[in-house]
Structure 1
Amino acid sequence: MTKRKITELAAVIRSKNAGPYQLTFDFIFKSDEIYQKVKESNVITPELIARLYNIPIKNVISVINYDPARAIKATIVRPRPSGALGETDVYGAQQHAPLLDIEIPWEE
């Protein structure tokens, strides 16, 4: 079985604020078939998000599959509130980089 990078499979990978105390990450896939394969792989889990962001699992609020949008959404507690002293990304739009190296097991 081969692996494919998430960047090959998703049309959109982004991060953004979900209020001042949370960040949310969206994976929106190119097709229903790709979305179903990624969802069924069970690779994108709270444990993976916690490991990628070096946070306790309790700080991963949710990882949900949203079939109507062919999307997977993960939400975490922000390490620092938006706009707090020392916080470097007020909008949360630059926090998705750790997600870009995810690999999904793939059978053609």
Structure 2
Amino acid sequence: MADLAREVRSKNAGPFWVTMEVFLRDAGGYRVAADETFLNERVIAGLYRVDEGSVRIFRIPSLNVVKISFPRPVGQGSVRDRDMHAGQHHVPLARLVVPAGRSTGPGGTP
């Protein structure tokens, strides 16, 4: 996914939620990332070990952005919190492999 994106980031959305944003380089990359057969609640639930029903995905075509939110595994600042600001949660999403055959269009990657 990182190859399609200008930036992939994560942050707190309050003490009990994480939000991740994928800023795609262009409309072609957005089409790949926004495709519900590629990136959906089931995929995010598997990557982050959260309940599929709790995942929220917002696709914003006018900005070439996909935004994803889900409950934090533990509350922010709790004894078991390993990432106080949720700043590292984006890594599994950024490393998500785009399946062969998905095209961003002329001149794009992959």
- Number of residue pairs the alignment of both structures matches: 102
Shift, 1:90, TM fit? 1.3
More strand by share: 1
Q: For residue 26 of structure 1, what is the amino acid of its counterpart?
A: E
Considering Cα pairs closer than 8 Å and 6+ residues apart, tell me whether 1 or 2 has the greater RCO. 1
**Distance in 1 between residues matched to 2:91 and 2:35, nearest whole Å:** 23
Match of 2:108 in 1: none
Q: In the alignment, what sits opposite 2:74?
A: 80
Q: Distance in 2 between matches of 1:65 and 1:45?
A: 11
Runs of 4 or more, structure 1, over 4 Å off, are none
2:5 equivalent among 5, 10, 14: 10
User: Does 2:58 align with 1:71?
Assistant: no
Indicate the residue corresponding to 1:52 in structure 2.
47
| Distance across 1 between alignment mates of 2:36 and 2:80 | 37
What's the TM-score once normalised by structure 1's chain length?
Answer: 0.84
Which is richer in helix? Answer: 1
Structure 1 gap ranges (5+): 1-5
CA shift, 1:36, in A, is: 2.2
Match of 1:27 among 16, 22, 29: 22
Taking structure 2 as the reference length, the TM-score comes to 0.83
Amino acid at match of 2:51: P
From 49, 69, 87, the equivalent of 1:93 is: 87
- Aligned residue type for 2:18: L
CA contact (8 A) 2:32 2:38 kept: no
Residue 104 of structure 1 aligns to a residue in which SS? coil
Q: Distance in 2 between matches of 1:77 and 1:38?
A: 21
**Pair 1:39 & 2:34 matched:** yes
